[in-house]
Amino acid sequence: MTSTEHGTHVPISSRAREERDGKEPTVDFGLLSGFSFACRPDCGLCCYATPAVSAEESARLLQIEPSTPFLEGQGGYSLIASRPEGGACHFLKANRCRCHPDRPFPCREYPLTAHVGTRVQVTTCLSCPGVDLSRLALWNRADGAHSPAVGFQEEIAAITAETLKHPVGVWIEFNSRRVAKLRMRMQRHELWSEPDELRARLLAELPLPGSDDFPPGSPPTEEEGLATLPLFYEKDRGCVSFYAREEGWAAFVLRETGGKGDSLGVFAPPDTPPSLTPQAEQLLRGYLAYLVRRDQLLWAVYYETAHHPDASLEELAEAFLLEAGTQVMARAFFRARMNGLTGKRLEVEDLERGIRATDSDLLDLPTYGRVL
Ligand code: SF4
Ligand code: SF4
């Protein structure tokens, strides 16, 4: 998923023609505003994955390596197998992709991802250490962080081309009908809010985690499997993962070939909200405001209505944001302890680490729509 072109300005919005049914779905790139990206060659974090491949892509990969291991996927797609015990994709070796020119679409679009609801909206995964988070705090302003996105040119081109390959217009129509039904049902019980109004209300009063939200929910245990654990990139250490133990959260280096490398210690998560510098609080607000603007979060809220039939959209959205904020603060605290920083207020750099250790989990939430 490495990118070779950096520092190139890209447009922040564009249109792509959906050829199969003659419709023209808009691909909204607005959430890339203010971000820049340059892949870090020492990282490899995004390759601890099982990317989905089309039949055409798997045929190309089999030409490169006839023994490529595939797993069964959905909708005519296969998955490139990763190594056992949480290891990286079969093609990753010493942080290099062995099929880079022929890597499949999920690898070519990363760190971007496109969500299809009633439109196609592109967002950037903030767990990628190549994405600069310095302007994220500005998303808490009414005008957002409007400035050109930098360095995503290849990834935008990949998404634009992929949009043309699918019946996106048909998906959008299907999703629109689904949401119309949900709206009718929820309106009858006064649980519905129109998306724009809901977003405006949440942005006007962002729910920030408090004492009631701590201690935070725990990551999976080791027994649930290393592949299920959260993952982040730590400079000079590589990919680090953590799991829940009785005494706290245990951190360790995850090996590319699978299995645990160096242990980095066990640290109790905070049982009250850690204190933040004013700048760190601004960053947390900016992150939550960014989540409010992501369609993926709204559509994850729609999905959640099936499990909470008596809750309003606003209550569910607030619960998502509080959980996201709590995890960011807790993981920031955990990473600060892991690096020997104790008893201090969390600063912007700590909060950034918390966001990076959390965001990909949020982008994995099931939604009422789909990813491209
Ligand atoms: S996570 Fe980001 S920085 Fe790391 S290898 Fe992937 S694209 Fe590059
Ligand atoms: S195919 Fe290449 S870029 Fe994609 S996950 Fe595997 S190693 Fe990484």
Question: Using an 8 Å Cβ cutoff, are 31 and 10 in contact?
Answer: no
Nearest one of 119, 132, 59 to 349, comparing CA atoms: 132
Distance 44 CA to ligand 1 centre (A): 6
State the Cα angle at 235 between 41 and 243, rounded to 5°: 110
DSSP, residue by residue, 96-120: EETTGGG--HHHHHTTEEEEESSSE
Residue 15: which region, alpha, beta or left (left: phi > 0; alpha: psi -120 to 50)?
Answer: beta
* pTM for the model: 0.92
What residues flank ligand 1, with Cβ below 6 Å?
1-2, 39-40, 43-46, 110-111, 128-130
* Protein residue closest via CA to atom 2 of ligand 2: 97
Cα distance between residue 47 and residue 43, in whole Å: 9
Q: Is the dihedral of CA 11, 13, 18, 24 positive or negative?
A: negative
Ligand 1 atom with minimal separation from the 44 CA: 5
Element (H or E) spanning 184, and its range? helix 168-188
Question: Using an 8 Å Cβ cutoff, are 193 and 201 in contact?
Answer: yes
Residue 111: which region, alpha, beta or left (left: phi > 0; alpha: psi -120 to 50)?
Answer: alpha
pLDDT in tens, the chain (372 residues): 433 333 333 344 444 444 444 555 689 999 999 999 999 988 999 999 999 999 999 999 999 999 999 999 988 899 999 999 999 999 999 999 999 999 999 999 999 999 999 999 999 999 999 999 999 999 998 777 788 999 999 999 999 999 999 999 999 999 999 999 999 999 999 999 999 999 999 999 999 999 999 999 999 999 999 999 999 999 999 999 999 999 999 999 999 999 999 999 999 999 999 999 999 999 999 999 999 999 999 999 999 999 999 999 999 999 999 999 999 999 999 999 999 987 779 999 999 999 999 999 999 999 999 999
Ligand 1 atom with minimal separation from the 111 CA: 7
How buried is 95 (Cβ within 10 angstroms: 0-12 exposed, 13-18 middle, 19+ buried)?
middle
Ligand 2 atom with minimal separation from the 89 CA: 6
* Protein residue closest via CA to atom 6 of ligand 1: 46
Question: Using an 8 Å Cβ cutoff, are 151 and 5 in contact?
Answer: yes
Distance 281 CA to ligand 1 centre (A): 26
* Protein residue closest via CA to atom 5 of ligand 1: 44
Name the residue with tokens 């939604």: 367
What residues flank ligand 2, with Cβ below 6 Å?
1, 47, 49, 51, 80, 89, 91-92, 97, 99, 103, 107
Distance 308 CA to ligand 2 centre (A): 37
Name the residue with tokens 């607030």: 318
